[in-house]
Structure 1
Amino acid sequence: MGLSYEDWQVGSRLEVGTHVFTADEIIEFAQRFDPQPFHIDEAAAQASPFGGLIASGWHTCSAMMGMLVRNVLPGSTSMGSPGIEEIRWVRPVRAGDTLRMFNSVLAKRVSASRPDRGIITTLWEGLNQADELVITVRSNVLFGLRSPQTAGQA
């Protein structure tokens, strides 16, 4: 069985995975979902304040979500998220960048209205190959309790 509410510890930090962004992938994603010139046209991107092609922030978030779903959530008691509290795109993600994702647990509590599940507050951090922070995401995730009867001890 995968991770349940009880397995998450406040203060823990987990390396989730890596993703390499290619120019083709950046352009393909942006053409469908965020067709701004600096995401889809290399010449326009060169003339932009970014000085070159960059990934959409939504692309970066999607890549991180994919890492989380593939590498952490299989078999878990995850029930999805009630929402994102904050996203910060700190620096551009460029073609050729390798993003490493980390997930830290900031807080956790058992739901008052549904004691069979808990809410985990997490901070996602994405660092590029130079260990520069490029993105942060603060979110909440619902996880089922393995043992709801011991909720007061979790």
Structure 2
Amino acid sequence: MQYFEDLEIGAKNRFGRYEVTRDDVIAFAEKFDPQPFHLSDEAAAKTYFGRIAASGWHTCAMVMAMIVENLEKHKQAGLGGIGIDELRWLKPVYPGDVLSVETELLEKKRSRSKPHMGSFKSRLTAFNQNDEPVMSYVNTALIATRGPEGGD
């Protein structure tokens, strides 16, 4: 189990593999982001995208699936997220793309009022199969400490 004390500022972790399918792009868009360029080849052809592209929110959801899978493999004493800052969709995600994720720990801080937990910030970047960044954000999350006495 990884606790607050185990986190190392500057540490990077690359993980995940998520194959983006046309059916999933359309199904997500129909339910959550029904803009024409997520649903129709003809409509998408008239836009910057040129063809059906995944919703940015769908990209967030696919990244979250990879994060959860990684956390299940590498147990972390996570206590949930606080928020996301600087969310950027850098490049369109298309059916046929294969996504992966890299995280970099930026900072960590032990709670003074709740010494059994701390928080950390990390930069997350999602990449396509060509190692091109497609999305990035800074995440702040809570994590348990080994105990209330000590540690960083």
Which residue of 2 is the match for residue 141 of structure 1? 141
Counterpart residue identity of residue 127, structure 1:
F
Q: Is the 8 A contact 1:16 1:72 kept in 2?
A: no
Q: SS of the residue aligned with 1:44?
A: helix
Which residue of 2 is the match for residue 42 of structure 1? 41
Q: SS of the residue aligned with 2:131?
A: coil
Q: Compute the displacement of 1:20 (Å).
A: 1.0
Counterpart residue identity of residue 67, structure 2:
L
Q: Matched residues in 1 for 2:15 and 2:86: separation?
A: 19
Q: Is the 8 A contact 1:20 1:99 kept in 2?
A: yes
Q: SS of the residue aligned with 1:149?
A: coil
* TM-score after normalising by structure 2: 0.94
Q: Matched residues in 2 for 1:16 and 1:123: separation?
A: 14
Q: Please give the residue correspondences for 1:64-103 in structure 2 after superposition, counting only pairs within 5 Å.
A: 64-73=63-72, 75-103=75-103
Superposition CA RMSD, Å? 1.3
Q: Compute the displacement of 1:147 (Å).
A: 2.6
Q: Matched residues in 2 for 1:29 and 1:23: separation?
A: 10
Deviates more, 1:66-75 or 1:140-149: 66-75
Which residue of 2 is the match for residue 108 of structure 1? 108
Q: Compute the displacement of 1:131 (Å).
A: 1.0
Q: Please give the residue correspondences for 1:14-25 in structure 2 after superposition, counting only pairs within 5 Å.
A: 14-25=13-24
Counterpart residue identity of residue 10, structure 1:
I
Q: Compute the displacement of 1:149 (Å).
A: 1.1
Counterpart residue identity of residue 71, structure 2:
V
1:117 aligns with 2:104: no
Q: Matched residues in 1 for 2:146 and 2:86: separation?
A: 29
Which residue of 2 is the match for residue 60 of structure 1? 59
Counterpart residue identity of residue 54, structure 1:
A
How many residues matched? Answer: 151
Q: For structure 1, list consecutive stretches of 5 or more residues without a partner in the other structure.
A: none
Q: Matched residues in 2 for 1:71 and 1:81: separation?
A: 16
